[in-house]
Amino acid sequence: MSADIVVIEYTALLEDPGESDASNELQEKLIAAFGTDKSLGIVAIRGVPRFLDARTTFLPMAHRLAHLPHDYLENELGDPKTLYNAGWSHGKEKLGDKPDTAKGSFYFNPLADTPGSPELRDQFPLSYPCNVWPDDEKMPGFEANAKDLGSIMHKAVVRVSLHIDALAKKRLGDSYTDNMLYKQMQATDKAKGRLLYYFPIESSDTSASGEEASTPEDSWIGWHNDSGFLTALAGDMYVDDETGKPIDKSLIDPAAGLYAVDRSGKTVRANIPEDCMAVQIGECTQIITGGAVIATPHCVRGGGLKEDGGNGTRVARISLPCFIDTGPTFPLCLPTGCSRKKAIGSGVGNAKVPPLQDRWEDGMTFGDFLQKTFATYYDWSKK
């Protein structure tokens, strides 16, 4: 089953929250996106200044990057000291006991090459990795365009966060600190862009079309919740893996793409409109808003052409999530008077992701929560 994501206009985000008709309409849309049983925890934003041009310029660069010589990618762009949280990563993460080779990732911080202070970088090396960039001769304009697109997406996230604060304030009253999320998102230099290149699915079944396609629903990215605060999504594109030539989405197996689970437990294919970026809720925002907004499990299903025609085209997918978070020392506290049961119980109760109650205690820092979450997901994936 497919579902259209709630769409809001960027111009509406520029308005300060209040009691105007426009503000009330925006709040209703955010509630539909984040706060009902049918919510997918995602909202699409149309009209973000310069976003479409920046995306069109940067995303196709993933093909050239992923096809650079293996030794250069591993030895010059890999960063083992941060456990590959900066630069190139392929096959370093695990799905169960096997390395994940379905996709390659390039991690970068669009806001700061050396985020945090020297003391914080020493204390939290995985939270504050320094950027590693490819040589400009090999990848002309890559660094500049990565920073440009990531910064555009960050600015949109900041505006969304202001209106999430207003939604939480309306539901929780004085127990919610005014503009708490907005102030953190505005001031942060902790952002992680992940340029993803999904290699073609090596299966004779990828040409099957419709919902009955035999490719596993989580074949490109397994089921997970975003563990941080807010995730900006640049949408996706498909290319011929050999040539890098874009492939129109109308030619792609309609079962491929992003899937999410709503609060009722229904799994749907989430369609981000081509002219929009999107913002997804992370578990930390669910916690600090006492469940006023929710994080939802999601995955990415692989696929090829609907009808190959015998030409053997191998389809790859490109996407860019950008994770916008607070610093690692930020305490993950419930709003005053909000119960742990309410905050956790508002989320999606199913077996697709490790239960939040096993990974979070009220007041623990964001850094400690991430460490516990990473360890839990690794054990979970081996079940």
Domains of the chain by residue range? 2-381
pLDDT at position 176 over 50: yes
Distance in Å from the first CA to the final CA of the chain: 27
Average pLDDT value for residue range 44-65: 98
Per-residue confidence band for 375, with pLDDT thresholds at 50, 70 and 90: confident
Sign for the CA dihedral angle at 90, 94, 99, 100 comes to negative
* Confidence tier at 208 by pLDDT (50, 70, 90): very low
Q: What is the pLDDT of residue 21?
A: 86
Q: If you average pLDDT over residues 327-350, what whole number do you get?
A: 84
- CA dist 123 and 146 (Å) reads 27
- Give me the pLDDT at residue 170, please: 92
Four-CA torsion 57, 151, 373, 133, nearest 10 degrees? 60
Taking the C-alpha atoms of residue 160 and residue 52, their distance in angstroms, rounded to an integer, is: 18
Q: How many angstroms from the chain centroid is the CA of residue 6?
A: 17
Q: Domain spanning 2-381: which CATH class is it, in words?
A: mainly beta
pLDDT at 347: 58
Q: How many beta carbons lie within 10 A of that of residue 91, not counting itself?
A: 14
Mean pLDDT of 222-248: 95
pLDDT for 65 equals 98
* Distance of alpha carbon 208 from alpha carbon 139, whole angstroms: 35
| Angle formed at CA 226 by CA 220 and CA 231, multiple of 5 degrees | 95
CB 323 within 8 A of CB 119: no
Strands 6-9 and 42-46, by their bridges, are parallel
Predicted pLDDT at 22: 86
Region 323-347 average pLDDT: 89
